[in-house]
């Protein structure tokens, strides 16, 4: 429930930011028109001195301008893919960081508990420790009175369950990575079709007639690729994090079995 609430909150924040971008663009356009009117009045008045002023747009302003030029149709869907993908990636990063456990310290604590208080004391240590490694240890210790073979089967079975929890949501991020550039390409194709329709209606192949439409069509592809690149970076980080946790789980499970054999 908390994860769903966090995703909805992130979605609302991004949508509010998108509305702010369009509102700022309208304000910038109005301010630009005022500047132009002022410049016209200044040109009509006798000039005293002219000082050249160069205004360079920031990277953020350029991205915002190009995004708005791409149109709200496909650009809005591409932005939605980015929002949902980032929300899932952030949720997974938080979950995986919380699932990371110091396996060496846990093994030492379990070994000390087994030597001092037996299996029940070791189970209490695992119950009070967060993470999939501690959960696997608890399941193995729960079956320790049934023999080492049952301990190994319990660890393998519950390890598969924990791997499924670690990889939860990654398939959706992969979907958004594939979907964003495809939506961009679709926007480009539709834009090119509109450009050729304009040529057919005008009966003239004038570059100025189709340049604007082609530019807008290509912008959808550019932003689709940008979204895919951003999400791909997060996806690779999450895959590497999951692999690291799984390797720790496997090594710790082997150490737990050896520890139980030695205690038996």
d(CA 185, CA 178): 11
Asked whether residue 18 is domain-assigned, the answer is: no
User: 258 lies in which domain range?
Assistant: 70-264
Asked whether residue 238 is domain-assigned, the answer is: yes
Asked whether residue 149 is domain-assigned, the answer is: yes
Give residue 63's pLDDT: 67
Instruction: List the structure tokens of 238.
Output: 């999450």
Look-up of token digits 């000082």:
51
Asked whether residue 28 is domain-assigned, the answer is: no
Q: What is the pLDDT along the chain (264 residues), one digit of tens a residue?
A: 444 444 445 445 444 444 444 444 444 444 444 433 444 334 444 444 444 444 566 766 776 666 666 666 778 888 888 999 999 999 999 999 988 888 888 888 888 888 887 888 888 888 888 888 888 888 888 888 888 888 888 888 888 888 888 998 899 999 999 998 898 888 778 777 777 777 777 776 767 666 766 777 788 888 889 999 999 999 999 999 999 999 988 888 888 888 888 776
Asked whether residue 121 is domain-assigned, the answer is: yes
Residues, the chain: 264
Look-up of token digits 């070994």:
111
Q: Evaluate if pTM is beyond 0.75.
A: no
Give residue 18's pLDDT: 46
- Total domains in the fold of the chain: 1
Asked whether residue 155 is domain-assigned, the answer is: yes
Look-up of token digits 């990654």:
170
Asked whether residue 40 is domain-assigned, the answer is: no
Instruction: List the structure tokens of 91.
Output: 């949720």
């Amino acid at each position: 429930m908390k994860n769903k609430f966090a995703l909805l909150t992130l979605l609302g924040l991004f949508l509010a930011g998108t509305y702010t971008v369009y509102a700022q663009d309208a304000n910038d356009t109005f301010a630009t028109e005022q500047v132009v009117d002022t410049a016209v009045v200044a040109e009509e008045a006798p000039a005293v001195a002219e000082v050249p002023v160069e205004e360079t747009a920031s990277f953020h302003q350029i991205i915002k301008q190009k995004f708005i030029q791409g149109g709200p149709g496909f650009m809005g869907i591409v932005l939605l893919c980015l929002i949902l993908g980032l929300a899932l990636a952030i949720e997974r990063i938080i979950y995986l960081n919380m699932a990371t456990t110091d396996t060496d310290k846990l093994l030492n604590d379990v070994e000390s508990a087994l030597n001092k208080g037996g299996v029940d004391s070791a189970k209490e240590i695992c119950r009070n420790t967060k993470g999939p490694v501690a959960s696997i240890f608890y399941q193995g210790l729960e079956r320790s009175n049934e023999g080492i073979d049952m301990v190994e089967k319990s660890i393998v079975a519950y390890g598969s369950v924990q791997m499924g929890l670690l990889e939860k949501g990654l398939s959706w991020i992969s979907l958004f990575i594939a979907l964003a550039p495809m939506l961009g390409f679709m926007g480009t194709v539709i834009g090119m079709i509109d450009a050729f329709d304009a040529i057919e209606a005008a009966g003239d192949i004038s570059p100025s007639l189709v340049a604007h439409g082609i530019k807008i069509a290509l912008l959808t592809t550019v932003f689709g690729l940008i979204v895919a690149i951003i999400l791909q970076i997060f996806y690779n980080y999450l895959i590497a994090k999951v692999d690291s946790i799984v390797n720790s789980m496997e090594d710790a499970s082997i150490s737990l079995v050896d520890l139980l054999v030695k205690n038996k």
